[in-house]
Every structure is written in structure tokens, then in C-alpha cells.
Amino acid sequence: MTKIVDHDQRRLLIAEATLRIIRQMGMKGATVRNIAQESGLSLGALRHYFSTQDELLNFSMRLVKERATVRINELVSIDMPLFQKVLRILLELLPTDDNKLAEMEVWFAFTAHYRSSGTTYDAQHDGVQDLVERLLHSLKESGLLRPELDYTLETERLYAFIDGIALHALLDTKRVDYERIVNVVTYHMKSICTEESFLLER
């Protein structure tokens, strides 16, 4: 048993080293050699834990996604008014601090890497579309969504808007700062929710 735990922990440490490397050097730095060095392992030892580079990269991307999921589930479990909760969860998806900016950097690097390598790419891999759908659904079920709206198009619009803001926050970090992100996301959510949703909650 001990050995299995060690094996998993070592894989986690290697994935974390991979994320640090991508953050610092971009995808082009994510060579087996660099990752081995950052992990303090020999090339042979690294290959013991991950037999191919693709396997290692996929594992690291999964780590990014899992971390985001943990943060979001924590928010889901907190007792607070629904409009505020949805807003907080959407902001959790966006690069509002250095840590999340680094994760977004990894997402971007991975996505570009997989596109250019011709590997089959799963556009839903990051789970954002699914999450946006569930958030709008809960607002609708609670009667907070303005009734005159087209629910399907609102889902598409919110999903595009969130990923667009994320992209801009990544590419233009100085201009699209924390305050701007909060303002525009709040503005959008207020525009699609009834006034009662956010007025009563204050």
C-alpha cells in the first residue's frame, strides 16, 4: 500500500513541477529534460512515473481542472444567496489572481499544443460549458432569470462571454484587472436576472 501512495504522490509532485515549468517557460519548455530537472529526478526515474510526454501533460491538465473543481465545490457548499453564489462561482472560473492566471496560462498552452499536434481535442474538456449551463439552470429554476429571455441563447452567450473575459485577462492582464472583471461579470449577470435577485440580497 505504502508504495502505491508514494507512486501517486510522486506523480502529483511531477505534475506540479510541470505546471511550474509551463508557467515560467510556456509549452515549449515542457520537455522531459526540464521537467525531470524541476522535479529533482533523473530522466529514467521520470519515465518510470510517466512513460510518454503526452501522458504527463494530460495528467497535469487534469490537475488544473481538479483544483478548479475543488474550489468551485467549496463555493457551492457555502450558504449564501443564489445570485451572489453564481457570481462568485463565475469569478472563480476567471483569472482574478496570480494562481488562477497561471492555470489559465496552462490551459491556453495545452490547448494550442493539442491543436498544433493534431491530437483529437475535446472542446468540453475544461467543463466550463457544463458549469455555465448548470448555473443558468439553477437561476431559472429559482425564478431569478428574467422570464422573457431565450434560455438556450443566454447559455451560449454567457459561456462565450466568460471565456472571452478569461482570454482577455490572460492576454491583457494589466488592462483587464480584478476590478474590471468583477464589474463586467456583475453587469452581465444583473442584465439577465430579475431585480429582486440582487436587490433583496443586499
Q: Does 163 interact with a second copy (rule: CB under 8 A)?
A: yes
In whole angstroms, the minimum distance from the beta carbon of 64 to a second copy comes to 16
Closer Cβ to a second copy, 72 or 184, answer by number? 184
DSSP string, 125-162: TT-HHHHHHHHHHHHHHTT-B-TTS-HHHHHHHHHHHH
In whole angstroms, the minimum distance from the beta carbon of 19 to a second copy comes to 14
Q: Cβ of 196: how many Cβ atoms within 10 Å? A: 11
In whole angstroms, the minimum distance from the beta carbon of 174 to a second copy comes to 9
Contact indicator for 173, 94 with CB cutoff of 8 Å:
no
3-state secondary structure at position 193: strand
- The residues with which 145 forms a beta bridge, in sequence order, are 193
Q: Does 26 interact with a second copy (rule: CB under 8 A)?
A: yes
Residue 146: CA count within 13 A, CB half-sphere? 13
123: which DSSP letter? T
Sole window of 8-16, 81-89, 135-143, 175-183 interacting with a second copy (rule: CB under 8 A): 175-183
Give the x/- contact pattern for a second copy in 93-132, rule: CB under 8 A.
------------x--xx-xxx-xxxx--x-xx--------
In whole angstroms, the minimum distance from the beta carbon of 195 to a second copy comes to 13
In whole angstroms, the minimum distance from the beta carbon of 138 to a second copy comes to 21
Candidates 171, 177, 196, 200; binder of a second copy (CB under 8 A) is 171
DSSP string, 66-105: HHHHHHHHHHHHS---HHHHHHHHHHHTS--SHHHHHHHH
- The residues with which 193 forms a beta bridge, in sequence order, are 145
Candidates 37, 188, 194, 198; binder of a second copy (CB under 8 A) is 188
Residue ranges binding a second copy (CB under 8 A): 25-29, 105, 108-109, 111-113, 115-118, 121, 123-124, 150, 153, 156-157, 159-165, 167-168, 171-172, 175, 180, 183-184, 187-188, 191
